[in-house]
Chain A
Amino acid sequence: MRPFSTAISGQLAIAVLTFSSASAAPVTIKQLRTLAVEALRDGDVAYSPPWSKVSGRTLWVKDAGPFSDRPGAASLDYWLAGDDPLKAVFLDQLAIEIRRQRLFAGTRQQLIIEPY
């Protein structure tokens, strides 16, 4: 019902971006990937995992997101970037890492959707 991009990757969309606090030192994508893996491995970020099921002839997928999927939950935990564009980008990477680990885990569909 909503434009797809904001429906799926809402992290940037809900961030109010200002760039005045953009990073002083350049951060690399490799560093972001490593940090995302660490955050999940150490349990530092609480999240609700993605899931999928079949309903009739439709593949129903719920994306990764905040710990609670109640409206307003993002403001209670890690999933709001606020005015930090670097965090907004990191949240996109973190969501990819969660999907990689949890979406279609152990099925052929996991191989189909790779590489992220």
Chain B
Amino acid sequence: MEETVAAELAIIQGAEDDEEKERQLDERLQELGELLKKGIEAAARDMRLSGAFIEPGHDDGTVWLDRLFAIYLPRLGQVNGQLNYAQLQQGVAQAIREKALAFDAPRISVNAGRLTVIDVGLSVESPRRLARIEEVACELAKLELRRRHPVPQPASRAIMESVYGQMEQVIRQRLDELRQAGAASADAASTEVAAAATGGAEQPDAGEDPPVDRSPFGRKLDGILKQGLERCAQSMGNLRLDFSNSPNATGSPTRSVRLGAPAGTKIEFVHNTDHKLWTLAGKAEGEYPWVERRGGDTVELAGGYWFRLTYPGGRQIRLYKKTGVKDTDLRFPEP
């Protein structure tokens, strides 16, 4: 793998045009993945296991779906063939139990004649389109999470339970369609995802938001949910319903740290390892993409940083500081 990284380094410092470099880097990246996979599979063989499941260090919000098909369903004895509703429901319940899903709980409030509901949101930052069976799993997960975070009023709970029953019916129907089409298995999901990744389906560019357009199946569920919530709002004294989908959740904060420097001090920072890397590369300090804050600001930091402080009188200092787990303040010298 280190040879491959050395090759990547040679590519980016080489004379080829950007497009060619990017193409070559893509190849090397594939190679890195394959090498790691081979090593881990060798370790699995040595342990007399039947295979390995490797998940990325960074969860783009779809890792739980990978786990669902590779870990949870096999653990429940559901390995081959088309999944039925009970099996999928069990797998999803296990994913929730094991906290594999990142989600925002629904937020429900009553204020000034309005029932405001922000729906449960699964945290997905992946730009990839979900396989059809994955979409069903997501809707099942959302349904279960809504049940666990109910509208806090007894009459509404009864209304919503019947609504959730209707939504279950829609999900069952969709699953039946997929079963008949042979698209309700782990293999089918893998095939759909791989086809989408290799251009078989239109994919948003990396870095774009996940697709917001809902399938007809998703829209049907949304419609039933909103109608149910309208009924809740009426039963709570003719309230007006404000319903919205949850915005995509962002990653949990790293560590909030207050920058303790005199008011008016300009504080710029970069990761210390970036600073060292750019120094190696001969990059001038003026070219750094400094993050700029002011004394007294609170920022999210984790690890070691290279700071450049400019005090109100114009004096500048540079220094290294590291944030510890318990740090809530970073104290900087007085001018």
Contact = CB atoms under 8 A, between A and B. Distances in A.
Interface of A: 1-10, 12-14, 16-19, 21-29, 31-33, 35, 38-39, 42-48, 50, 54-79, 82, 85-90, 92-93, 95-96, 99, 104, 108-109, 112-113, 115-116
- Shortest beta-carbon contacts, A-B, top 9: A65-B57, A73-B251, A5-B33, A23-B281, A44-B304, A72-B251, A25-B282, A46-B302, A59-B44
Contact of A68 (B65, B248, B252): B252
Interface string B33-45: 1101101101110
B5 A93 contact: yes
Given A24-B281, A24-B282, A25-B282, A78 B250 contact: no
Nearest to A29: B6
B326 to A, nearest CB: 14
A69 B59 contact: yes
Interface in B211-260: 248-254
Contact of B280 (A27, A109, A115): A27
Most interface-central of A7, A68, A79, A109 (chain B CB within 10 A): A7
B273 A39 contact: yes
A2 B62 CA distance: 9
A18 B314 CA distance: 35
A19 B123 contact: no
A89 B24 CA distance: 13
Interface of B: 1-2, 4-6, 8-9, 12-13, 18, 21-22, 25-26, 29-34, 36-37, 39-40, 42-44, 46-47, 49-62, 65-66, 69-71, 74-75, 102, 123-126, 128, 131, 134, 189-190, 193-194, 197-198, 206-207, 248-254, 271-274, 276-277, 280-283, 287, 289, 300, 302-304, 322
Contacts of A19: 12, 18, 21
B25 A17 contact: yes
Contact of B54 (A6, A7, A71): A7
A72 B1 CA distance: 27
A59 B254 contact: no
Given A17-B25, A58-B52, A70 B254 contact: no
B30 A5 contact: yes
Nearest to B194: A3
